[in-house]
């Protein structure tokens, strides 16, 4: 049996490694109350056998899963939702209304991802999502609460990284499962100053003003901890949020500096600026890793952030 690496991080709360790209890049979470379970994020389709192994390792079965809750439909967060739902006969899928269609019928997700990664790369990295019967899908309302055997899980609409993004508030731990809304914080970059956070401006719906409003919305709940998909739990979010907000503004500024310039090679210029910015911020945070190591750890995010900023500029141009 495949069992994904996992650890208990709070009462009835487990952080699970999904195995995407490298260890420590992408997690998902399993919430337990009595013998009932909920997954928040799922990893990709290829992650699901390991998730089912964790359930078995806890002495439970897929029949104990009541909810599968992807924070949004990007494949590192919701690509495995269909496979997990197929294995969990009693589960309901909880999702943002704007993402539901892509989970019920994932053809567009598959086509877009295949175009980016190629058929072989897509199959190797992610695996194809499975469609989910519409009757098993709940399109969550902002503020709607789902009861997990007495443990309330509240859905909060948080656009900015994606327009189909929602975070989940766990009343027991006073924490949020934040998907990408509270940024990325890899443990390799922890220093005496604590975690370092930066924004993922992944295609295709980056919206800095809306994102900053979503951060305000989360912080209004006075959370104690944030559970990041990338990666793990970070404490004292009130101490971290301004650094993340600065990152959103700075990355938007990198793109805006290119607005109106020749589009040829523009994404390449943005990528170079994003890489330089992230390296400078890591150094300012006290990270002592070699430049090449930092660049390697951030290579995927640098690429995706540049792509997302370029898409944002093109979208802005269409609306001027």
pTM: predicted TM-score of the whole model, two decimal places: 0.96
Mean pLDDT over 180-185 rounds to 98
Of the candidates 107, 268, 240, the one whose C-alpha atom is nearest the C-alpha of residue 183 is 240
Stretch 256-281: mean pLDDT = 95
| pLDDT tier at 11, thresholds 50, 70, 90 | very high
The answer to whether 82 touches 107, Cβ cutoff 8 Å, is: no
147-181 per-position pLDDT tens digit? 999 999 999 999 999 999 999 999 999 999 999 99
The pLDDT tens digits of the residues spanning 228-240 come to 999 999 999 999 9
* Distance, CA of 213 to CA of 219 (rounded, Å): 10
Whole-angstrom distance, CA of residue 224 vs CA of residue 263: 44
Share of the chain above pLDDT 70, in %: 99
In the block, tokens 């998730």 appear at: 51
**Rounded mean pLDDT, 17-34:** 97
Least confident of 83-97, 105-119, 146-160, 253-267: 105-119
Of the listed ranges 2-11, 106-115, 187-196, 216-225, the least confidently predicted one is 106-115
* Site of tokens 């290119």: 258
SS (H, E, C) the chain: CCCCCEEEEECCEEEEECCCCCCCCCEEEEEEECCEEEEECCCCHHHHHHHHHHHHHCCCCHHHEEEEECCCCCHHHHCCHHHHHHHCCCCEEEECCCCHHHHHCCHHHHHHHHHHHHHHHHHHHCCCCCCCCHHHEEECCCCCEEEECCEEEEEEECCCCCCCCEEEEECCCCEEEEECCCCECCHHHCECCECCCECCCCCCCCCHHHHHHHHHHHHCCCCCEEEECCCEEEECHHHHHHHHHHHHHHHHHHHHCCCCCCCCCHHHHHHHHHHHHHHHHHHHCCCCCCHHHHHHHCHHHHHHHHHHHHHHHHHHHHCC
When mean pLDDT is compared across 101-105, 210-214, 258-262, the lowest value belongs to 258-262
Q: What is the pLDDT of residues 103-142, one digit of tens each?
A: 999 988 888 778 777 888 888 889 989 999 999 999 999 9
Question: What is the C-alpha R_g of the chain?
Answer: 19
Task: State residue 112's pLDDT score.
Answer: 75
**What distance in Å separates the CA atoms of residue 14 and residue 6, rounded to the nearest whole number?**
7
Distances (CA, A) of 130 to 40, 136, 170, 312: 17, 13, 28, 29
Q: How much of the chain exceeds pLDDT 90, in percent?
A: 90
Please state, in angstroms and rounded to a whole number, the distance separating the CA atoms of residues 308 and 257.
15
Mean pLDDT of the chain: 96
**Would you say residue 48 has pLDDT above 90?**
yes
Instruction: Report the alpha-carbon distance of residue 41 to residue 25 in Å, rounded.
Output: 14
Joined tokens for residue 12: 């009835």
Average pLDDT estimate for 291-307: 96
Using left for φ > 0, alpha for ψ between -120 and 50, and beta otherwise, residue 5 falls in beta
pLDDT > 80? residue 92: yes
Q: Which residues contact 278 (CB under 8 A, 6 or more apart)?
A: 198, 294, 298, 301, 302
Q: What is the pLDDT of residue 121?
A: 84
Tell me what the mean pLDDT of segment 14-18 comes to: 98
Which structure tokens are listed for 279? 């390296």
């Amino acid at each position: 049996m495949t069992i994904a690496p996992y650890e208990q991080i709070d009462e009835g709360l487990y952080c699970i490694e999904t195995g995407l790209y490298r260890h420590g890049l992408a997690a998902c979470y399993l919430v337990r109350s009595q013998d009932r379970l909920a997954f928040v994020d799922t990893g990709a389709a290829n992650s699901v056998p390991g998730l089912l192994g964790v359930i078995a390792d806890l002495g439970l079965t897929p029949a104990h899963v009541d909810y599968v809750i992807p924070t949004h439909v990007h494949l590192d967060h919701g690509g495995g939702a269909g496979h997990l739902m197929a294995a969990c006969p009693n589960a309901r899928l909880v999702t943002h209304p704007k993402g539901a269609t892509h989970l019920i019928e994932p053809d567009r997700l598959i086509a877009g991802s295949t175009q980016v990664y190629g058929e072989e790369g897509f199959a190797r990295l992610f695996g194809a999502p499975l469609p989910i019967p519409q009757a098993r899908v709940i399109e969550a309302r902002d503020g709607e609460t789902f009861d997990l055997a007495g443990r309330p899980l509240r859905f909060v609409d948080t656009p900015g990284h994606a327009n189909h993004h929602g975070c989940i508030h766990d009343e027991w731990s006073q924490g949020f499962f934040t998907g990408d809304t509270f940024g990325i914080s890899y443990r390799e970059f922890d220093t005496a100053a604590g975690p370092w956070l930066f924004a993922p401006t992944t295609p295709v719906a980056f919206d800095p003003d809306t994102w900053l409003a979503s951060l305000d919305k989360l912080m209004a709940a006075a959370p104690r901890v944030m559970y990041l998909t990338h990666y793990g739990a970070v404490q004292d979010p009130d101490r971290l949020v301004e650094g993340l907000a600065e990152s959103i503004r700075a990355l938007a500024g990198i793109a805006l500096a290119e607005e109106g310039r020749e589009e040829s090679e523009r994404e390449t210029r943005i990528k170079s600026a994003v890489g330089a910015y992230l390296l400078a911020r890591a150094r300012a945070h006290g990270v002592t890793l070699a430049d090449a190591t930092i660049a390697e750890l951030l290579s995927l995010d640098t690429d995706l952030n540049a792509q997302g900023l370029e898409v944002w500029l093109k979208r802005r141009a269409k609306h001027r």
